Structures are given as structure tokens and as C-alpha cells.
Homo-oligomer: A and B are copies of this chain.
Amino acid sequence: MRIEHLFIKRTKELPSDATTSGHKLALKGGYVHQTGAGLYTYSSLGLSLLLNIEKVIREELSKLNCQEILMPMVSPATFWKETGRFDTVDILLKFKTRAGADAVLNPTHEEIISDYVRSTLQSYKQLPFCLYQIQTKYRDELRARAGLIRTREFMMKDAYSFHTDWESLNEFYDKMLEVYKVIYKRLGLNNVVDILAPTGDMGGKVSHEFQMITDIGEDTIYICEGCDYRANKEVLTDKDADDILICPKCGKKLQKLRGVEVGNIFQLGDKYTSAMNVSYMDEEGKKQTPIMGCYGIGVSRTLACLLEQSEDESKAVFNMTVAPYKVHIISIGEDEKVQGLANDLYEELNSAGIPAIIDTTGDRVGSKFANADLIGAPIRAIISPKNLEKNVFEMKYSGLSTEYESEISTSNIFNKIKAIIKNEIITD
């Protein structure tokens, strides 16, 4: 991408409701544009982050043999009436179609997947299995909050597993919990912990949340200073949250923190499969009800959290895996040799399929660097007449500036970049 072609909105005057550094960076850097209350348009820069997050999720879920499917956003209301959630889930958007039918815009898909599975599952031999989708969801929130953390419309990965018994569900649940850790690690989302969570509206027995520990979190969580006990405030229901709490496991003091929930997994049991008559034939030809787990990751919220952990509202920091561009080439001055070298390097990166952005514009150097800060490519290659004269090239990587004394040439720079990328992509 040539920077002059990148169509993004750079918001200079930030709205007063943009209070966190991530929200400010999202607007200042043109990652998103606000289309309505709780409704955002993702620019190519923002979408690229989203797609890179999705790619990691797909890769990791495929290791557990999860199969990606796609269910409709809109569905008949009947399914939600079968489980009774039509009347209990307040953020469910209900509407009448022009044909007069009751319909909903699904904020989650337990009912829809149960309908699919009851029409498809026949034998115990098919169990266990896990299906997932990556899809836009809508929550009809009464009040939209500012920023990208809790939007009305958002991108979600929702997975659903089906099992003959609790032992199988437990085993799969534990594996998924480990996969979630790998996903956040690969995305470079730091300070994420898994904690015991309430099952709430979803029902079921066991639940864990993945919480990013941050100053801007809206959830209260407790972490034991003695053992590894970690829980959401709601799990410790009969306690006054403002008191100093004691760990139910070891009796030591609990540390109170606030978090942002980036994932949530549940052992649902038969709540949905029973209500919706999902069944299979067991080894003896007897009809049985499978049990179920569900596993969510807020994809657009994860994006928001990645922006929150950037240095400040003017400086995006992404790892090699999620960065929209891996390399940012900046040429300084009008010198033909400088421009030629920058363009050659850009072409070579393009040919190798390495996402790069190039700035050979006549903008001031300070402005070029400020733009590069907003885009957050992990590698910055600076080509200037001064460096050319000294026969060195300059590369910033992870914030460090280095001058390399090797002969300045496209292939030297290219090989150095390739080596860094190969070294830095976290594959598991």
C-alpha cells in the first residue's frame, strides 16, 4: 500500500466521549469511523487487524478439529421461544418481518446451532464434535457506551461442542481453555488471565472468563495473593464486593482488580439440547440427549484491547502476527537514488507477499514518522541521503533504532527484514 492511497479518516479533534487511549488511537489513526451509537465502520486498517485476529483463531481451532460453519444472523423467533429465552434476554432484537413473522437478530446462537444439530445428528459415533462461526452479532443495548469495547454490533467467534457425557465435555473444555491461552499469546494480547465466572443467563455448570487486566476494565475480578485462585466478583455472590475478601481455596487475601472480558467459555450441559429435543442413538440403539459446551471470543473487542495496550493515543504497537503492515518504508528527501531504493524494496516485499506500506510523499519527516506511529508496523525501514552516503541502512524494530553497516542495497535490507519476520511470527 502506498500511504497516499490509504483511505482513512484521521480525526484531529477527538470527541469528548473518547476517554481511553485505545478509543482515541482508533479514531486518531483512522482504524474506525463511528456510523451510529455503538455502530462502527472499520477502515482497511481496522479490518486488516480484525482479519489477522480471525486467522489466528481459525488456525488454533482447527488444531482441535473444530469445523467452521455459518449460521444466519436473522432467524425465526420460534427457536428462542422453545428455550424460553425469547422473553428473558433483554438485548435480543425482536422484529416483525414484512411477511408478518416474528423474527430476531441473534446475539448468540445456542438455539440456532441446536436446531442444526437436531436435524443432523444421528449416532453416538458422530460425537464429540465442535462447530464454530465468526460472525457479526447485534446486542440491542439500551444505552450504547463510548468506544470499541462494548458496541451494539460486533464481531464474535462462537463455538459449540457436543458430547455424550461430562467426561468428554470436561476433557474438551480443558483443551479449549488451553487453546484460548495460545490464541491470546499469539495475538500479543498481554495480561490476560482465565478466571472462574458465573454461568448467568447461559445456564450450565462451569464457566471461565478470559479477562484482560487493565485500568479501563469494567469487570471486577479477584485474584488470590497466596494460591492461583481467580474469580469474577459475581462468583463470590454473598460477599460485599468492597470488602477485603478471603480466598475460598487457601484463606489468603484476595486482590481486587478490574478487567475487560475478551473471552468466555461455558459447560452448558443439557439446558439447550433438552429444551430443543436434540438427540442421538447410543450403542444400544437408545435415544439419548447430548450435552453441550459453548466458547466465545469477542473478536472486535480483542481488537479494541490490542489498541488499548498501545503506548498512547499516538503510537500503535502490534506484534508481527496482528500488525496490518509488517514493514513501513520511509524515504527522506527527493533524491532519485533514495526513492528508487525505497520503491525497489517495496516491490520486493510485495512480491514476497509481505504486507508493506511505503511513504515516498513530499510530507515533512516529522509528519511521516507520526503517521508511521499511528499505523504501528513492527519494522520501520528508513532510507535517507545521509544513510546512502554512509552506505548504511537504518531500521527501527520494536522501538529500537539501529544502523547496520552492511552495504546498502535492496537485497540486504530485504534479507534482514525476512529474517526478523521469520523470527518474530508466533506460531504457537
Contact = CB atoms under 8 A, between A and B. Distances in A.
A75 B37 CA distance: 9
Contacts of A126: 4, 7
Contacts of A74: 36, 39, 105, 138, 152-153
A352 to B, nearest CB: 15
Main secondary structure of the interface of A (DSSP, over half): mixed
B9 A119 contact: yes
A387 to B, nearest CB: 29
Interface in A124-165: 125-126, 129, 131, 135-136, 138, 140-144, 152-153
Contacts of A6: 67
A39 B7 contact: no
Interface in A250-281: none
Nearest to A155: B70
Contacts of A67: 5-7, 43-44
A70 B95 contact: no
Contact of A142 (B69, B98, B115): B98
A68 interface: yes
Given A5-B65, A126-B7, A142-B98, A47 B75 contact: no
Contacts of A136: 72-73, 135-136
Nearest to A2: B65
Interface string A317-355: 000000000000000000000000000000000000000
A35 B73 contact: no
Contact of A69 (B44, B70, B116, B138): B44
A135 to B, nearest CB: 8
A42 interface: yes
Given A120-B9, A143-B99, A40 B129 contact: no
B153 A73 contact: yes
Query: Which bracket fits the contact residues of A?
Result: 35 or more
Nearest to A51: B68
Contacts of A42: 69-71
A368 interface: no
A76 interface: yes
Contacts of A72: 35-36, 39-41, 136, 153
A112 interface: yes
Contacts of A43: 67, 69
Given A35-B76, A73-B73, 17 more contacts: A30-B120, A35-B71, A35-B72, A36-B72, A41-B70, A42-B69, A42-B70, A42-B71, A44-B69, A72-B136, A73-B153, A74-B138, A91-B98, A93-B97, A99-B141, A99-B143, A99-B144
Q: 3 tightest A-B contacts by CB?
A: A9-B120, A44-B67, A39-B72
30 contacts: A4-B126, A6-B67, A8-B120, A9-B116, A9-B119, A9-B120, A35-B75, A35-B115, A36-B74, A36-B103, A37-B76, A37-B99, A37-B101, A39-B72, A39-B75, A39-B76, A41-B116, A43-B67, A43-B69, A44-B68, A44-B131, A46-B69, A50-B70, A73-B136, A74-B105, A74-B153, A98-B140, A99-B144, A135-B136, A136-B136
